[in-house]
Amino acid sequence: MQTKSILTLAAALLLTSCSPRDYLTRRLAADLISASDPFKTPQQYVLQTGVVSNQTYVSPEYLVLEHHGWVSATTAPCPAGLVPPPCWDILLTPSGVDTVRTLIPAEDADKQSFAIPVARRELLNITGIAKQGNAAEVEFTWRWIPLNEIGAALYSSDLHSKSTVAFRAYDDGWRVILSPSHSGQSLDDALKNAEPAP
């Protein structure tokens, strides 16, 4: 009876000494990536009205906004230092004012440049984990989920991206690397360097 009690106590001590974070599983990797600040931070689009360079005006984002009838543009003289010509005076249309007004704080309404939260990331799946000692690389796929009309116009949820991020085992379990390290890339870099996923 005493041997049984000792074995039960030893098993209980062993179980409590291991945490779920001690083993890098796909579920743990998904939870750590999804809960990280770089992954949770919404994508911001900076909309600039007023006089802009031709390079800014011909960007895909402005063409999409113009196609939806939210902005209009007319040629304008380039102020000193703004190149290449021609320059464009960008204005919000009445439809654009109605759309943007609900997405920005009231105190930003009179500004010529304002940040609009347009999309958030959604983790689709962990596609692989390569471990070597106390370091690992985790490959995952994700997509943008639009937060509003402008987000839906700029970001398609049908497009999937593939990223790889570094993980490291610490005394309290595995952690996703949030800042650049000697090996592997941070989650922020992994999201910026995402590739189209099949």
Domain ranges of the chain: 23-42+120-196, 50-111
pLDDT tens track for 22-64: 799 999 999 999 999 999 999 999 999 999 999 889 999 999 9
* Of 95, 77, 94, residue with least CA distance to 86: 77
Name the token pair of 96.
Answer: 């654009």
- The DSSP code for 158 is T
Strands (E), the chain: 43-48, 50-53, 71-76, 87-92, 113-132, 135-146, 160-170, 173-176, 195-196
Neighbouring-strand partners of residue 30: none
Residue 183 above 50 pLDDT?
A: yes
pLDDT of residue 59: 92
pLDDT tens track for 118-147: 999 999 999 999 999 999 999 999 999 999
33, with CB counted inside 10 A (0-12, 13-18, 19+), is buried
Residue 17 above 50 pLDDT?
A: no
